[in-house]
Amino acid sequence: MLFILEAVKFLEKKDLKAKRTGNPFSLVTIFDEKTYTKVDLFASDSFDVTGLQSGDIVNLQCRLTDQGNISVIGYN
């Protein structure tokens, strides 16, 4: 299932490794000014932040995975 998170503030993308398995993964930190909420979301490997700066307001394209996680796949 695809959906859009509208008008959220992009803060950063972090590339991390799982402690137990060592598998790499990425998190995207966003801030929603309407609800005053800061959230970390998983990011797909193809999510490219080139051209994004911290504080940019974007519409995030997201996908709900089979495991029930939200994964960021793009922006506009």
For residues 76 and 74, give the distance between their C-alpha atoms in angstroms, rounded to a whole number: 7
Which domain covers residue 28, as residue numbers?
2-75
Q: What is the pLDDT of residue 62?
A: 97
Which tokens go with 48? Answer: 């490219």
What CATH number is associated with residue 17?
Answer: 2.40.50
pTM above 0.85, yes or no: yes
**Quick count: other Cβ atoms within 10 Å of Cβ 72?**
23
Number of domains in the chain: 1
For 22, which DSSP code?
A: -
3-state secondary structure of 40: strand
Please state, for a pLDDT cut of 90, what percent of the chain lies above it.
88
